[in-house]
Amino acid sequence: MDGIADGLKFYKHRSARLLPLFLINAVIAGLLFYYLHPVRASFLIKQWLLVVSCFSAFYNIQPVFNFALWTLVIEIWFSILFVPLCFLIQRYGLAKVTITVFVLALTTRIIGPQLCQNLSGNPYFHPISDSIFGRLDDFLVGMVVAGSYAKRQTLKFSSRSGWGFVLLGILLAWIGMALWDATLCLKISGWFEAFYNVF
């Protein structure tokens, strides 16, 4: 990511990977939903346009015709933010950008439930906490892991440390699932979700 040309090349490759299947899914799911559910065509068209334009991320990030598409909408927005994040990391360093992103994401996840009640009925999902700003730390962690993998020859990890990372990943994923389960069972306060979301 040495300049604008690299950024445009990234956008071209990422668009070719994400957009065709995203659009095909949105068209088929929208048509099936319209066929199976008696809804006004104007309502469905508005929903479809919001999803296909990816502005549903800022309006109603749960597509009525295919709930799972919200994750792809968030991924598309992250792909848009990826290039600016790379340039910010080059300019200010990984540590400063990481701290800023983690503070932004944590603040979004803490304040989100206070600003907006979750009306989706889905306990795993909140329209503000699970927005691009609430999930940005997930993506940054992915960038760091991918960067470490790309530089694995220079970092010289031993096979033993590799197994340590595998076990650490499994442990963190298990801790995250256990904490989510405890939250949904009301054993711990939902307020703590903001802190272990990234696991």
Of the pLDDT bands very low, low, confident and very high (cuts 50, 70, 90), residue 30 is confident
Q: Residue 158: inside a domain, yes or no?
A: no
Is residue 11 situated within a structural domain?
yes
Determine, yes or no, domain membership for 37.
Answer: yes
Looking at residues 137-161, what average pLDDT do you find? 80
Inform me whether the pLDDT recorded for 104 exceeds 90: yes
Please indicate, yes or no, if residue 16 is contained in any of the structural domains: yes
Contact 62, 30 (CB under 8 A): no
Residue 150 lies in a domain: no
DSSP symbol at 191: G
User: And the tokens for 125?
Assistant: 């999902």
Return the ∠ at Cα 122 (arms to 55 and 61), rounded to 5°: 0
Least confident segment among 24-38, 54-68, 83-97: 54-68
In a domain, residue 12? The reply is yes
What range defines the domain where residue 55 resides? Answer: 1-69
pLDDT at 172 over 80: yes
| 17, part of any domain | yes
- Lowest average pLDDT, out of 60-69, 79-88, 106-115, 172-181, goes to 60-69
Q: Angle 104-105-106 (CA atoms, 0-180°, nearest 5)?
A: 95
Total domains, the chain? 1
Q: Is residue 32 part of a domain?
A: yes
Instruction: Read off the pLDDT of each residue in 41-46 and give the average, rounded to a whole number.
Output: 82
